[in-house]
């Protein structure tokens, strides 16, 4: 018998699920009970991902057998995730979903980008799992929609400006390592294609755009965002450059005070004195920001660096679980 809450990671063979399993396995306040993964069921997770060192055997998910836990992280693709989440919620499990299924408040927006929603009735219950913006709601919820990695970096970069009503227009140019493309072996992820290359993709229609826009609107900045992602030749890490045309002239000192005010007491947000680099946040739950105004153009440039798998996905989910279960937010993440 365990004295700490038991946990399940459903879909532990993708990059996000495997890292979630790693983080919960070494977490002092959860007991990772089950890891699932259909294709590799029967193998131990530390055979599939030696570096994560989780010595549990992968199961084929069976809600009746595996759903008797206190907490779950669900790492399924969108649409496939919602039914698993629904079944777990029926059993009273507190869930962090890593898919897109519960990130968008507006059903119509979801359906435009992802198709029919399997469980629209759960949308209202879900809280957007960005603790720096939704900490109080996270304390009270049982269902968290973990943000996409691009929205995490972009929203932390833009939130102070959005709240201050300072964003007239914004261009977001995002660069990410190949782990962001997932574990599937494709021509895109082939080293001989992605190495020594820069791969722009979905340059005018990426589905993280509506997620960013919905959250910005909730902060008071109701506008259309130009968002363009790229893959660059590294594994883990993401840098988002936000180019903001401000609604009025702003000064460097004012910006620095605004960001210090917003994030000075946040355990996982750093304001960097120099341009933020992804190497400085690799394998951490930290978002590292740098803000500068151009005297030449008047534009505000905000750089936001995260590890796409950590703060961008799985570690942020654990941060949310810590909040949901009343633990110190940094437990198991330092």
Question: Side by side, which strands form the sheet with 127-128?
Answer: 58-59, 31-36, 6-10, 71-74, 94-97, 143-145, 127-128
- The reply to whether 149 belongs to the active site is yes
Region 215-234 residues binding a copy of itself, contact defined as CB under 8 A? 224-226, 228, 230, 232-234
Region 154-213 residues binding a copy of itself, contact defined as CB under 8 A? 169, 171, 173, 175, 177-179, 183, 185-187, 189-201, 203-205, 209
Tokens (6 digits) for 90: 């029926």
CB of 94 to a copy of itself, least distance (A): 27
Nearer to a copy of itself, 140 or 204 (CB): 204
* Residue 322: strand, helix, or coil: helix
For residues 256 and 291, what is the distance between their CA atoms, to the nearest angstrom?
Answer: 7
Nearer to a copy of itself, 68 or 280 (CB): 280
CB of 312 to a copy of itself, least distance (A): 14
Region 13-72 residues binding a copy of itself, contact defined as CB under 8 A? 15, 26, 47, 50-51
Region 271-330 residues binding a copy of itself, contact defined as CB under 8 A? 272-273, 275-284, 288, 290, 292-297, 299, 301, 303, 305
CB of 200 to a copy of itself, least distance (A): 4
Question: Counting every residue, how long is the chain?
Answer: 334
Nearer to a copy of itself, 142 or 189 (CB): 189
Nearer to a copy of itself, 91 or 191 (CB): 191
Nearer to a copy of itself, 101 or 270 (CB): 270
CB–CB of 155/316 below 8 Å? Answer: no
DSSP state, residue 274: S
Phi, psi angle pair for 231, to nearest 5°: -100, 130
Q: At what angle do helices 209-218 and 107-114 cross, to 10 degrees?
A: 170
Element (H, E) at 315: helix 315-324
- 40: Cβ contacts below 8 Å, ≥ 6 apart: 13, 48, 58
Nearer to a copy of itself, 169 or 266 (CB): 169
Half-sphere exposure of 49 (CA within 13 A, CB side): 22
CB–CB of 16/77 below 8 Å? Answer: no
CB of 273 to a copy of itself, least distance (A): 8
**Per annotation, catalytic residue among 96, 149, 242, 320:** 149
CB of 49 to a copy of itself, least distance (A): 9
Cα-only R_g, the chain: 19
Region 125-154 residues binding a copy of itself, contact defined as CB under 8 A? none
For residues 64 and 258, what is the distance between their CA atoms, to the nearest angstrom?
Answer: 49
Q: Is 136 exposed, middle or buried (0-12, 13-18, 19+ CB in 10 A)?
A: exposed
CB of 7 to a copy of itself, least distance (A): 19
Nearer to a copy of itself, 95 or 231 (CB): 231
CB of 299 to a copy of itself, least distance (A): 5
Region 237-276 residues binding a copy of itself, contact defined as CB under 8 A? 237, 239, 241, 243, 245, 270, 272-273, 275-276
For residues 222 and 262, what is the distance between their CA atoms, to the nearest angstrom?
Answer: 20
Active-site positions? 149
């Amino acid at each position: 018998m365990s004295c700490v809450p038991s946990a399940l990671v459903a879909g532990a063979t993708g990059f996000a699920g495997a890292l979630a399993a790693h983080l919960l396995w070494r977490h002092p306040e959860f007991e990772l009970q089950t890891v699932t993964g259909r294709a590799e069921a029967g193998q131990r997770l530390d055979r599939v991902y030696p570096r994560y060192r989780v010595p549990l055997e992968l199961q084929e998910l069976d809600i009746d057998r595996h759903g008797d836990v206190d907490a779950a992280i669900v790492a399924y693709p969108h649409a496939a995730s919602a039914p698993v989440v629904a079944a777990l919620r029926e059993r009273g499990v507190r869930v962090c979903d890593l898919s897109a299924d519960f990130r968008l408040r507006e059903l119509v927006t979801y359906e435009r980008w992802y198709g029919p929603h399997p469980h629209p009735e759960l949308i209202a219950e879900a809280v957007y799992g960005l603790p720096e913006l939704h900490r109080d709601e996270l304390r009270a919820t049982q269902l968290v929609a973990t943000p996409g990695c691009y929205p995490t970096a972009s929203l932390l970069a833009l939130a102070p400006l959005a709240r201050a009503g300072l964003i007239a227009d914004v261009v977001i140019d995002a660069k990410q390592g190949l782990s962001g493309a997932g574990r599937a072996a494709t021509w895109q992820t082939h080293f001989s294609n992605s190495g020594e290359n820069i791969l722009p993709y979905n340059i005018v229609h990426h589905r993280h755009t509506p997620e960013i826009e919905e959250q910005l609107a909730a902060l008071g900045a109701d506008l259309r965002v130009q968002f363009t992602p790229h893959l660059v030749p590294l594994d883990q890490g993401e840098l988002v450059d936000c180019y903001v045309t401000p609604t009025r002239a702003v000064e460097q000192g004012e910006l620095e005070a605004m960001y210090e005010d917003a994030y000075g007491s946040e355990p996982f947000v750093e304001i960097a004195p120099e341009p933020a680099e992804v190497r400085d946040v690799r394998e951490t739950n930290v978002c590292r920001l740098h803000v500068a105004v151009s005297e030449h153009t008047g534009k505000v440039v905000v750089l936001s660096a995260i590890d796409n798998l950590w703060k961008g996905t799985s570690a942020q989910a654990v941060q949310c679980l810590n909040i949901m279960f009343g633990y110190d937010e940094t437990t198991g993440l330092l």
